[in-house]
Chain A
Amino acid sequence: MSNLKVIQLYRLYYASTATQEYLPHDIGNILKSCKTVNPSLDVTGMLFFGEGYFLQCLEGSRENINFLYRKITRDPRHKDVELLEFKEISERYFEEWSMKYVNSANVIFKILKQTGLKKFNPYLLDSYALNAMTEVFRDYAPPDKTEAGVLNTAKSKLNIFNIFGRA
């Protein structure tokens, strides 16, 4: 066992509740900032909004996720931000997305059915439900990709760096 390692991937989930400062068009602004910030941090993920709750998943290095999460908790557009899970992972679920955005009612319906919950409340999700849900989100094919979040355009660029041996 060594305490020095190649950069390990982590996945974080948090739940939060929209405040009155959150306006419907804000989602566009949130996604826009994901587009500028996340590729530089090599963070990918998913954002879900439904029933007044946010559920977000962030994937990347532990340090960068901590940096982002801290920033996120200070955003006045949501409150009661709660960490749900933060674990080492072997691969990303949302490799292609700087931030995939999901707000489809069909998706909620599917999740409720899978998790056995009556109402969507992200604060109550345990590890099993979170992972089952993430698979639904990952497989969700938005009708129009450009309106469904931010594609990870940094991906090809990063791969080139990898070829040249950058860690």
Chain B
Amino acid sequence: MSEVNLATLCYASTATERCSAIEIGLIVEAAKKNNARLNITGVLFFGNNYFLQILEGPRHHINILYNKIIKDERHTNMQVLELREIGSRCFPEWTMKYMRSPSVAAKIYREVGLKEFNPYLLDSIALNALALAFRNHQELDEEKHAETANHSELAKKKTNFDILKLFGRNT
């Protein structure tokens, strides 16, 4: 059965001076705790000093979280990129997935056609493709999957295939 008013919100923001590498770890830990309580799942990207977060869950809870996040002084210029109804979650198993490896992240951006990571410029299609590519790279999230040439090639093929599937699908 589908959840009531299930929605996804994407936002972009810029890290302030108050945001160090340690802080990002703390953000992810706090997010995991808060999100579980609110039945929210999602993913957090960090690169080029920008944050991109995708939240999914009951719309009312997403709003509670949004009001909290916007007050956080570790980032600034928070912009909502999209808030829309969804039929099912893209990251049902992640209270907050975080991409640890910048090289894997960079590879994914290239795969979805982005020259550099600037979340403020992402349109609806790019956001969707990015979310899907990240979901499909779950197995690459861990450090132990340091890329060998073969491994990357394989992952690339897999992701490209899924992106094509996405565009062929009427969502």
For the residues of A in contact with B, the DSSP-based class is mixed
- The chain A residue sitting closest to B77, CB to CB, is A66
Tell whether A3 pairs with B122 under 8 Å between CB atoms, given A83-B63, A83-B66, A123-B60. Answer: yes
Shortest CB-to-CB span from B69 to chain A, Å, is 12
B80 A8 Cβ-Cβ under 8 A? no
A86 to B66, CA, bound (A): 14
**How far is B126's CA from A24's CA once the two chains are assembled, in angstroms?**
44
Q: B92-135: which residues lie under 8 A (CB-CB) from chain A? A: 112-115, 118, 121-126, 129
The answer to whether B79 and A1 touch across the interface, beta carbons within 8 angstroms, is no
Counting contact residues on chain A (CB < 8 A from B), the size range is 20 to 34
* Residues B60 and A85 in contact, CB atoms below 8 Å apart: no
Q: Which residue of A lies closest to B86 (CB)?
A: A127
- Hey, which chain B residues are within 8 Å of A166, CB to CB? none
* Size range of the chain B interface in the assembly: 20 to 34
**Binary contact readout B59-76 vs A (1 if CB under 8 angstroms, 0 otherwise):** 110110010001000000
B38: Cβ under 8 A from any A Cβ: no
In the assembled complex, B28 has its CB within 8 A of some CB on chain A: no
Q: A69 interface residue, CB < 8 Å from B?
A: yes
Are A2 and B80 neighbours in the complex by a CB distance under 8 Å? no
In the complex, A88 has a CB within 8 A of chain B: yes
Which residues 15-68 in B have Cβ within 8 Å of A in the complex? 59-60, 62-63, 66
Give 5 closest A-B pairs by Cβ, nearest first.
Answer: A86-B83, A1-B113, A127-B85, A82-B63, A3-B121
